[in-house]
């Protein structure tokens, strides 16, 4: 009986530890030519690096590394602590307009030159490339099949297979400023020209929902597939079907970046270099930071690598096995 209680206590302790790690995960913020790592409450800068010219996009990889792209067409890969460059590429022919990392840590880069490149996880080898994508403004990964959605300023959305060898496209969205995906394989498009948000079916052939707002500058899909839209002085929370307004946060200035953190909270950055962290309902402010010296250009929030779940499961099975051996 004592052994059973001990086993339960160890398992509960392990789960609490994992929960605490997820809850205190760092977030990354870019503004001007620098990138900062902040704690979850936005109360402390835990790491920083700079000298990138003007950072246009950052992204966190499942393996913990951080991608940093600038308006000069250069890209760097750093370790999670922003202390070591682990890879670099340049010559993309325009500003880095979109960055994404797949579950296998391969990397997709899109530039305003219209080019798309898929790299290995170390950022040392080009696995595939293509052109003619227009002025790339955002990239999102569809996790179910590792395919990509690529949005362009010209109003065109491309859906590319994982090897970026074939694509389906649809257009007429004005100026696309953001593209996201849902857990149900829908694409979500934000247009600043039409001040509209669309949700498309999985094949990108018809609208499943559309809403017009006073202003649209960013879009983010939450962990529950609801949608957060940044605008002029407000972040609006929409239902997953893009029909119902669930809430809003005001007084946030001109929103230039938004992102969803794995715990469901929402990051909001503005043109004055301020950052907020709200709960998923936008009713509670969880953190605030300022003084970044330039408009917030991008956020990145680490997502635990799928393999870490397997490691945890293996460890728990080992605990159970140890308990059984002790009883025998």
Summarize pLDDT for 81-104 with one digit per residue, the tens. 999 999 999 999 999 999 999 999
| Enclosing H/E stretch for 317 | helix 306-327
Confidence of residue 305 (pLDDT cuts 50, 70, 90): low
Phi-psi region of 294 (alpha: psi -120 to 50; beta: other; left: phi over 0): beta
pLDDT digits (tens, 9 = 90+) for 251-298: 999 999 999 999 999 999 999 999 999 999 999 999 999 999 999 999
CA–CA distance, 192 with 210 (Å, rounded to integer)? 14
HSE-CB for 186 with a 13 A CA cutoff = 21
Share of the chain above pLDDT 70, in %: 85
Residue-level pLDDT at 306: 56
Average pLDDT over the chain reads 88
Most confident range (mean pLDDT) of 14-23, 199-208, 247-256 is: 247-256
pLDDT at 227 over 50: yes
**8 A C-beta contact, residue 206 and residue 184:** no
Min mean pLDDT across 53-57, 68-72, 318-322 is at 318-322
pLDDT at 11 over 50: no
**8 A C-beta contact, residue 95 and residue 71:** yes
pLDDT at 139 over 80: yes
Residue-level pLDDT at 231: 98
Residue-level pLDDT at 302: 84
Cβ–Cβ contacts within 10 Å for residue 165, how many?
A: 10
Q: Hunting for tokens 């392990």 — which residue is that?
A: 14
pLDDT at 4 over 70: no
Q: Which domains does the chain have, with CATH numbers?
A: 1-25+311-328 (no CATH), 28-301 (2.130.10.10)
- Closest Cα to residue 177, out of 198, 197, 191? 191
Residue-level pLDDT at 132: 86
Q: How many helices (H) and strands (E) does the chain have?
A: 2, 27
Between 171 and 323, name the one with better pLDDT.
Answer: 171
Residue-level pLDDT at 240: 97
pLDDT at 119 over 70: yes
């Amino acid at each position: 009986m004592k052994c059973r209680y001990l086993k339960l206590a160890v398992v509960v302790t392990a789960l609490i530890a994992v929960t605490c790690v997820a809850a205190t995960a760092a977030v990354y913020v870019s503004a001007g030519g620098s990138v900062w790592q902040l704690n979850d409450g936005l109360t402390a800068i835990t790491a920083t690096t700079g000298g990138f010219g003007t950072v246009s996009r950052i992204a966190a990889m499942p393996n913990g590394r951080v991608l940093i792209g600038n308006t000069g067409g250069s890209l760097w890969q750093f370790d999670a602590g922003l202390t070591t460059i682990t890879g670099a590429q340049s010559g993309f022919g325009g500003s880095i307009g979109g960055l994404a990392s797949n579950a296998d840590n391969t990397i997709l880069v899109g530039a305003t030159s219209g080019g798309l490149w898929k790299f290995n996880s170390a950022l040392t080898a080009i696995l595939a490339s293509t052109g003619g994508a227009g002025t790339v403004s955002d990239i999102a990964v569809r996790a179910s099949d590792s395919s990509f959605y690529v949005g362009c300023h010209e109003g065109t959305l491309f859906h590319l297979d994982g090897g970026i060898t074939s694509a389906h496209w649809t257009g007429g969205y004005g100026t696309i400023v953001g593209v996201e995906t849902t857990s149900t394989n829908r694409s979500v498009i934000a247009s600043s020209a039409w001040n509209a948000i669309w949700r498309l079916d999985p094949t990108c052939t018809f609208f499943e929902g559309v809403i017009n707002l006073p202003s649209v500058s960013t879009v983010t899909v939450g962990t529950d597939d609801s949608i957060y839209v940044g605008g002029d002085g407000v972040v609006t929370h929409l239902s997953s079907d893009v029909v119902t307004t669930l809430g809003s946060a005001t007084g946030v200035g001109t929103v230039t970046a938004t992102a969803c953190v794995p715990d469901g909270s929402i990051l909001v950055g503005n043109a004055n270099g301020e950052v907020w962290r709200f709960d998923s309902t936008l009713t509670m402010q969880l953190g605030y930071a300022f003084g970044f010296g330039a408009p917030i250009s991008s956020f990145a929030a680490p997502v635990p690598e799928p393999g870490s779940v397997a490691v945890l499961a293996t460890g728990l099975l080992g605990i159970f096995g140890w308990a059984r051996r002790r009883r025998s």
